[in-house]
Structure 1
Amino acid sequence: MASPAAKFIFFLSLLTRLFLFAPSLCFLAAAADPVPAPWPHQFHSILFMNRSGKLEMIDLWYDWPKGRNFNIIQHQLGKLTYDLEWNNGTSFIYTLDQNRECKVLNFEVGILRPNWLDGATYLGRRYVDGFLCNLWEKVEFIWYYEDVVSRRPVSWVFLQSGAAAHVMTFEVGSVLEDQKWQAPLYCFQKTKKESLLLESVANVGSHGGLIRGPI
């Protein structure tokens, strides 16, 4: 059985080793890159969108539990356009004015998953719109800025087009009433000859300021 003196010496030895290795352990912890916060399953956001000088205000509703996403887009001094997206890959893009315009897009993927930023590459910290943000790049397609303190999205930029979305409001848990998710009847009343325009698009794309697909 070890004497009290031996135990004390052993304890001092362990303590010395701890102090010697502590700086390297702290360095390893500090070196770990932050990861972006998953998107809330339901939220409402107002976006200011700059598409290389073409300006839009977007009223965005994201509803993952019900598999739907809605962008209500006001073009500067122009049309008010509704972009209604479903997780089955169908989107309706329409107006509610007297022209009754409606177009259907078929995507091979549904709306964004809440964890769509998984696997993004961390690029460090930058100031954007006056906020100190963590910045990530996803598949050389988008830069995503998240506020360091609140972890809310601040901006995202599509690298190919240069289009930039600026987040003006971000209301977690806000839900749009079910009846407002219905596309107008004239989207379904075209004859075969006058059928809705069907478009095939890439798995990864942008529309109405929100990224489309899982990427």
Structure 2
Amino acid sequence: MYSSSSFAYHLLLLLLSKSATNSVSAVEFPKPTPWPLQFHSILFVNYSGSLSIIDLWYDWPNGRNFNIIQDQLGQLLYDLEWNNGTSFVYTRDSTEKCRTSQLEVGILRPNWLDGAVYLGQQQVDGFLCNVWQKIDFIWYYEDVVTTRPVHWVFYTGRSIHVMTFEVGAVLEDIEWQAPIYCFEKARSHLKVDVWNPQPQGLKGI
């Protein structure tokens, strides 16, 4: 038979074991920080050696997202997206090129990373980052200290490095207006239906 002291000892071990199990099960993995409602960011993009810079303006309250894309030694493109699914990709030079489209979805929601799977921590671009994977579509890296996005990689291999991240920055309303020639498809010399630029923002994967 157990002595009272032996019984108390084993009871203590049982309680400690149960407490440790509960502590492990109660551990919560970090969750990605929702995007600010408005921000401005400069992004460096590498897609199999094809380089570009994206000047990104995100404006959720006004339902709009703007990617100004400069390919290396290439054409400057303006990729304007609205939350009603309307999208314009155009130039602002003498070529007056524009392509319009109507998508089934609008711009990314601030919490678009909800449900992403936490993969742990990794050093990226000199920052210690928490890493998440979203349905085999994107790998997202966020600075552990500041919770700012640092890097993300699409399943296609397109790699985006966040160079600046200005929370609350807003682009003037006049800059969000697509050129008049985007609305004049009847002008045959524009050839808006055959021009097929390849934007490289979040939707251009």
TM over 0.5: yes
Change (3 A) 1:134 1:211: farther
Helix, strand or coil for the counterpart of 2:67? strand
Aligned residue pairs: how many?
A: 189
Structure 1 partner of 2:144? 148
Alignment map for 1:193-208 (pairs within 5 Å): 196-197=192-193, 207-208=199-200
Give, as a single letter, the amino acid of the residue that structure 1 aligns with 2:178.
A
Matches of 2:100 and 2:81, distance apart in 1: 10
Query: Alignment partner for residue 27 of structure 1, among 19, 24, 31?
Result: 24
Structure 2 partner of 1:109? 105
Matches of 1:210 and 1:111, distance apart in 2: 9
Q: CA deviation at 1:131?
A: 0.8
Q: CA deviation at 1:209?
A: 2.6
Please give the per-residue CA displacement for 1:63-106, whole angstroms capped at 9, x wherever unaligned: 00000000000110111110000001011000111111101122
Q: Check whether the contact 2:97–2:192 (CA below 8 A) recurs between aligned residues.
A: no
| TM-align CA RMSD | 2.3
Give, as a single letter, the amino acid of the residue that structure 1 aligns with 2:186.
T
Please give the per-residue CA displacement for 1:99-158, whole angstroms capped at 9, x wherever unaligned: 111011221000000000000111111111111111111111110111111100001101
Matches of 1:100 and 1:90, distance apart in 2: 19
Q: Check whether the contact 1:105–1:198 (CA below 8 A) recurs between aligned residues.
A: no
Matches of 1:122 and 1:72, distance apart in 2: 31
Please give the per-residue CA displacement for 1:176-200, whole angstroms capped at 9, x wherever unaligned: 000000001111112186774399x
Matches of 1:164 and 1:119, distance apart in 2: 21
Give, as a single letter, the amino acid of the residue that structure 2 aligns with 1:190.
K
Matches of 1:198 and 1:108, distance apart in 2: 21
Structure 2 partner of 1:202? none
Q: CA deviation at 1:50?
A: 0.5
Percent identity, aligned pairs only, is 62
Q: CA deviation at 1:207?
A: 4.7
Unaligned runs of 5+ in 2: 1-11
Matches of 1:88 and 1:143, distance apart in 2: 27
Query: Alignment partner for residue 171 of structure 1, among 146, 152, 166?
Result: 166
Matches of 1:209 and 1:180, distance apart in 2: 18
